[in-house]
Amino acid sequence: MELNAEKRIMSDNDLANLGLQFVAYVKPVAERGGDAYAIYAADGTEIAIMENRDTAVAAIRSHDLEPVCVH
């Protein structure tokens, strides 16, 4: 069995078609000298910054999105 070695770069539209419009990412960030958690849409747009991870995840879920953590 031969695997196709050709790589394909996916566009934002390709990712949206995979259902990523229902996903938001949580990423730890430094904010005003302290730690915080930023929420990003699947396309990388920053949505909000929260004081802690649990609050960020709760905010995402309250908007019927699935949280995904980025390290």
Per-residue confidence (pLDDT) for residue 11, from 0 to 100? 77
Structure token digits, residue 33: 């000298």
Q: What is the pLDDT along the chain (71 residues), one digit of tens a residue?
A: 455 667 777 777 776 667 677 889 999 998 877 889 999 998 889 999 999 999 999 999 999 999 988 76
Helix (H) or strand (E) holding 48: strand 46-50
Cβ-Cβ contacts under 8 Å for 55 (sequence gap 6 or more) = 37
Q: How far apart are CA 65 and CA 67, in angstroms?
A: 6
Q: How far apart are CA 42 and CA 61, in angstroms?
A: 15
Per-residue confidence (pLDDT) for residue 58, from 0 to 100? 96
> Taking the domains of the chain in order of start, what are their residue ranges?
22-69
Exposed, middle or buried, 48 (CB in 10 Å: 0-12/13-18/19+)?
A: middle
